[in-house]
Structure 1
Amino acid sequence: MLLKEIKDIFHTELGAIYPKEEIDSFFYSCIEHYLNLERFILAIQPGYTLNKDEEQPLFEALSELKLEKPLQYILGTAHFMDLELRVDENVLIPRPETEELVQWILLDAERPPARRVGSRMVIERSRNDHSLRILDIGTGSGCIAIALAKHLPDAKIYALDVSEGALSVAKENAASNGVDVTFLHQDILNPEINLEFDVIVSNPPYVRELEKNEIQRNVKDFEPDTALFVSDEDPLLFYRAILGFAENHLSENGKLYFEINQYLAEETKALFNTRNFSEIELRKDMFGNYRMLKAIMQ
């Protein structure tokens, strides 16, 4: 069958579900992944023909796309910053907003920290002079921990998750990207860790059950519920738990970074006002929503 004909079938079968540009992206991602063909192949070889064996994975992917299964799960890979990661239904698909959180951490890591002495702010020696100790809580695919390890090669990176399936994926991703991360099978609601960290970062579950109607089917039907949703009665459960953990395991002037629910930004920030943290900062993502928070341990 002509490759062009298969592209037309993708549009016919998926046109009622996805916009044209997204269907094009699906098609070209599939031919690159399964056939190692560049997206301009049809421009230079409009008569390019596939045999039955070459057609099969494309039509199998099409069948799953019709069920609104995320393409990343179909192909088994996702991109995050400059990384290629394996993903499956044990882990969330990494988002661009989470890239922004990592970039915030990396930018701060390049700056020497400051502390107040009397009326003066004193610049301390850069943390780059020794090994930063960083903990990623709820690591999932390992995207945050692995990106930090890639860009901060002298740092000691730890990554924690309650899911053995997620940790298996994360370990594979760390190995394939050539970084050293220490993985911990722990429940942050009942942690057993006797370490101190300079940075703690987390993208915990924060979507309330009442918000499920806003979530697209390809997310709520396929991505792991335990990594997404919290009860309406206690939506800040994990933030409170991590704050309590940080108070005992974050070094003086250590930094805590969160991805947060945009609808609960002020409520999340208010938690810090009752704890031993300062310089509490909310930050908007690329879409103008408050999705990140940073605080410093006093």
Structure 2
Amino acid sequence: MKIKNYRTQFIHELTPIFDFDEAESFFYLILAEKHQLKRVDLALNPDLIFSNEEIQVWIAILEQLKKEIPVQYLLGKTSFYGLDFEVNSNVLIPRPETEELVEWIVESQKSKVKSQKVKILDIGTGSGCIAISLAKNIPNAQVFAIDVSEKALATAQKNAINNEVDVTFLLKNILETEDLEQQFDIIVSNPPYVRELEKQEIKKNVLDYEPHLALFVEDHDALIFYRKIAELAQKNLSPDGQLYFEINQYLGKETIGLLEKINFKNIELRKDIYGNDRMVRSEKYEVKK
């Protein structure tokens, strides 16, 4: 069968579940991963065909997509901040909004003295996307990363090796941690922040397949991770050290209020590309003697 004809069939079978653009993006993601072909290759060679064996592979993938299993899990990889990351059901699939958080940190370091080391801690690293992207793009960075899941850390370690960066990974439950035991210039976290009451807003492909441990918090204490991390950051950030958070879009004011209460200064809230309150930067308050 001609690939261009199968493309039409593939998208047609998925459009009852996904919109056209998303279904089409799935097709080209799979085409690139399984056949090393891009959209332009198909445009330049409209008579390219799939063999019967290749069609069977596509049919199997299509059936999985109809169950709304994320295409990134089916392919076992995704792209984040220009790098390739292995992903599986033990880690969240990195989002474009988190790339914006990484960009904010990278940009903040461009004016710094290149020879001066910057010590960074990523809390709740998951696939390692934040820690590894920072290690790759800030040459003078010494990066550490924490997660409560051994399986997530195993995935993150593979991603660090594959992307040729040195990150120190630590197994730790941050809610049970009293001290981080060393000083950091930057602490960053994209912790669980989706409230149980927001579950109805979550798409099936996320709700049914991505790890709830990394997603959800109880309604009555939605900022539990932010409070704990901010308290630790006051102890373990260097003077004028920076704390970066990805946040729940509905809790921007509450997150700022929490940081103010814990004596952070120069607090800045930013929106993501979709116009939602999504990230906060603050600095450690240092008492002048």
Per the shorter chain, which TM-score range? over 0.9
* Alpha-carbon shift at residue 194 of structure 1 (Å): 1.2
3-state DSSP of counterpart to 1:194 = coil
3-state DSSP of counterpart to 1:258 = strand
Contact kept? 1:34, 1:57, Cα under 8 Å: no
* Alpha-carbon shift at residue 7 of structure 1 (Å): 1.5
Contact kept? 2:119, 2:141, Cα under 8 Å: yes
What does 1:38-77 correspond to in 2, within 5 Å? 38-77=38-77
Counterpart position of 1:142: 128
Counterpart position of 1:20: 20
* Alpha-carbon shift at residue 263 of structure 1 (Å): 0.5
* Alpha-carbon shift at residue 26 of structure 1 (Å): 1.1
**TM-score in terms of structure 1 length:** 0.92
3-state DSSP of counterpart to 1:160 = strand
* Alpha-carbon shift at residue 185 of structure 1 (Å): 0.5
Counterpart position of 2:267: 280
Partners of 1:178 and 1:42 lie apart in 2 by 33
Counterpart position of 1:101: 101
Q: State yes or no: 1:269 paired with 2:256.
A: yes
Q: State yes or no: 1:226 paired with 2:213.
A: yes
* Alpha-carbon shift at residue 11 of structure 1 (Å): 2.1
3-state DSSP of counterpart to 2:175 = coil
Give the stretch that moved more between structures: 77-86 or 47-56.
Answer: 47-56
Partners of 1:8 and 1:96 lie apart in 2 by 28
- Residue segments in structure 2 that go unaligned for 5+ positions in a row: none
Q: State yes or no: 1:167 paired with 2:156.
A: no
Counterpart position of 1:295: 282
Counterpart position of 1:88: 88
3-state DSSP of counterpart to 1:266 = helix
Give the stretch that moved more between structures: 9-18 or 203-212.
Answer: 9-18
Q: Which amino acid aligns with 2:138?
A: L
Q: Which amino acid aligns with 1:239?
A: Y
3-state DSSP of counterpart to 1:218 = helix
Partners of 2:28 and 2:261 lie apart in 1 by 51
Alignment partner of 2:198 out of 198, 211, 231 = 211
Question: Over the residues paired in the alignment, what is the CA RMSD in angstroms?
Answer: 1.4
1:155-175 deviations in Å (ceiling 9; x for gaps): 100000001111011100000
- Residue segments in structure 1 that go unaligned for 5+ positions in a row: 113-125
1:131-169 deviations in Å (ceiling 9; x for gaps): 111000000110100110001122100000001111011
Give the stretch that moved more between structures: 190-199 or 143-152.
Answer: 190-199
Contact kept? 2:77, 2:87, Cα under 8 Å: yes
Q: State yes or no: 1:185 paired with 2:160.
A: no
Counterpart position of 1:119: none
Give the stretch that moved more between structures: 12-21 or 138-147.
Answer: 12-21
Counterpart position of 1:243: 230
Counterpart position of 1:7: 7
Partners of 1:76 and 1:98 lie apart in 2 by 19
Partners of 1:195 and 1:153 lie apart in 2 by 21
Q: Which amino acid aligns with 1:227?
A: A
* Alpha-carbon shift at residue 233 of structure 1 (Å): 0.8
Identity level (%): 50
3-state DSSP of counterpart to 1:129 = coil
3-state DSSP of counterpart to 1:262 = coil
> How many residues are treated as equivalent by the alignment?
284
